[in-house]
Amino acid sequence: MLITSEEFTLLSSDKASIFIQSRVYSSNFSFEIHSILLFFDSFTLGFISIFFQFCLRMSLFFELLKNPT
């Protein structure tokens, strides 16, 4: 059983800063990315948020491959 929680909060739009909190829990697999405060322009911010989403999805995918039930 997988429980996921994601929170992406945009704190400022021009000199963009983002608070990223992602948690994934399962029976034998868990990791947390939390309290990461990044200050970048909006293009870099978009790239970083997509990158974190991609990493989270790939981690879930590999966990499902290891434990299909």
**Tens of each residue's pLDDT in the chain, 69 residues:** 344 444 544 444 444 444 444 454 554 544 444 445 555 566 666 777 778 778 878 887 887 787 766
pTM for the full model?
Answer: 0.37
pLDDT of residue 39: 56
Task: Say if residue 40 is exposed, middle or buried (CB neighbours under 10 Å; 0-12, 13-18, 19+).
Answer: middle
DSSP 20-67: EEEEEE-SS-EEEEEEEEEE--HHHHHHHHHHHHHHHHHHHHHHHHH-
pLDDT of residue 58: 82
Q: How far apart are CA 39 and CA 16, in angstroms?
A: 6
